[in-house]
Structure 1
Amino acid sequence: MQYLLFISGGEIVLVMLLALLFFGSKAIPDIAKTLGKGMREFKKATNEIKRELNEHTSDIKKDIDEVTTTVTKETNDIKKGITERFDD
């Protein structure tokens, strides 16, 4: 049996029936429209926050990549020097 947010199909139908009785058939589309707008704004704000975080952390990522490259190069140079020393 499939559950959506820990609610079974029968419970969803019951909630919709109660909403229909409580708000009436004319108010339901307006409520759904308002919820849709709210969800869209929330998603837009979330994407904006993600974009700003990526922008501000790109400099840090670039610095870390440079350090990683430098350390890798120096480590390879040391390995090469040790290998050449033992080969002689």
Structure 2
Amino acid sequence: MTAVFVKSPLLLFQELGMTELILIALVVLLLFGGKKIPELMRGLGKGIREFKDAKDNVRREMEEGMKETEVKKS
């Protein structure tokens, strides 16, 4: 079984050009309308922020656990 890892979901957007981004923006505008977009963007920003916070918490806990293990070995 092979596993595919993506470092960050945001890395996928680095490969998009300006034309693709404009097309995506137009589709979003048509689907949701101008009044709904700010609410969607706030929700997206909040979700990304929560994801980063959770990722940082997991990293911090792992580092603390590794430090505790190193101290016990000494």
**Normalising by structure 2, what TM-score?**
0.74
Q: How many residues align?
A: 63
Number of the residue aligned with 1:15: 24
Query: Which protein has greater RCO, CA pairs closer than 8 Å, 6+ apart?
Result: 2
Query: Which structure is larger by alpha-carbon Rg, 1 or 2?
Result: 1
Name stretches of at least 5 consecutive residues in structure 1 with no aligned partner.
Answer: 67-88
- Computed over aligned residues only, the root mean square deviation of the Cα atoms, in angstroms, reads 1.8
Name stretches of at least 5 consecutive residues in structure 2 with no aligned partner.
Answer: 1-12
- Structure with the bigger percentage of helix: 1
State the identity %: 35
**Normalising by structure 1, what TM-score?**
0.63
